[in-house]
Amino acid sequence: MIYKLSIKDPTRTPVKWLAQVDAIKQQRVFEFKPGLNILWGRNGSGKTSLTKVLARVFHCEQGNHPLVTEESLRQLSGDGTLEASAIKKGLQVVHDGQGVRHFDPGSAVGLMGGLAAFDWDFGSEGIANAMFKGSAGQTTMFRFDRLAEEIVASEVPEVKWKFPRDRAGKDTWGQRVALAAHLLESNAEKGQPTILLDEPERSYDLNTQIGIWRFLRAYSDQVQFIVASHCLFALKIPEAHYIELSPGYLTGAEKALEVLQKWSTEKPPKVSSEKTAIARSNAKERRKKKSHGD
């Protein structure tokens, strides 16, 4: 279980663009509870970035399961641009040492950037992903099924090392190995196993979306879920712990549910003639500039 993530210096984390994210530009502490933890905020607020930071710390970004590889060690050091000492100063994670899993429906395990370039640390998964043909929703379900089976079976993966763990020394790789071992070491009492999810309902139809959220709620007494989401079904869950990345955004989103209830009976808003005139003027000006080659 992950109890706390302290971002002490956003410029010194495994995700090098973190300092550009409004919600995390300054020092910030994120505390997580057992069960459902929902990261909530507008686009660009840092939800995915937070799950990515944790996925890199726990070496589960490449393959959804914890495996320390040469690539995961490079990602841990900000794609190889930061020294180990900088990362130690930049963040701190309080956790129980269990293997963490990661699910991102937009990321095909074993393929680099979702393309047919293989990450050979996860070759068989890459072949399976490359051969699977289906809609976006079917692809998401294909990738989620394995995780769901493990949750139902109460499986918790152990952290495995593919890169030589006994590598020591003051060279760059020795420092990275020492940093990884330091961050993976337990520093809290054992709790629920943790799963990171980045918009797990992405590309699903409404019935499947609510099914996914019912599934997460059903197993939240056994598993800690840290979920980045925009989904309406993620709102107003009484047992959930919400982590708001955009202040006031949760209240606004809940009001959207009230609008939805009367959406079909509301009259459509009238188009402002003033705004229309301004838009036409701007469009005309753009066309004029384009015709002059500006």
Give the dihedral of Cα atoms 31, 234, 151, 32; nearest 10 deg.
0
Does residue 294 carry a pLDDT above 60?
Answer: no
Q: What is the pTM of this model?
A: 0.88
What is the structure's pLDDT at 26? Answer: 82
What is the structure's pLDDT at 114? Answer: 59
Question: What would the two tokens of residue 184 be?
Answer: 């993976």
Question: What would the two tokens of residue 79 be?
Answer: 């794609």
State percent of the chain over pLDDT 70. 97
> Dmax over Cα atoms in the chain, in whole Å?
71
What are the strands, taking DSSP E only, across 121-251? 160-161, 194-198, 224-228, 241-244
Domains in the chain with CATH codes: 2-249 (3.40.50)
Supply the angle between the helices 206-218 and 136-152 in degrees, to the nearest 10: 20
Phi, psi dihedral angles at 244 (to 5 degrees):
-90, 120
* Rounded Cα distance, 1 and 222, in Å: 11
What is the structure's pLDDT at 61? Answer: 93
Q: Under a CB-based contact definition with an 8 Å cutoff, are residues 63 and 156 in contact?
A: no
Does residue 14 carry a pLDDT above 80?
Answer: yes
Residue linked to tokens 């210096």? 9
Does residue 47 carry a pLDDT above 90?
Answer: yes
What is the structure's pLDDT at 55? Answer: 97
Closest CA to 165 of 157, 152, 176, 154: 176
What is the structure's pLDDT at 62? Answer: 92
Tell me: the pLDDT tens digits for 67-121?
999 999 999 998 888 888 899 999 999 999 999 999 998 888 888 765 667 888 8
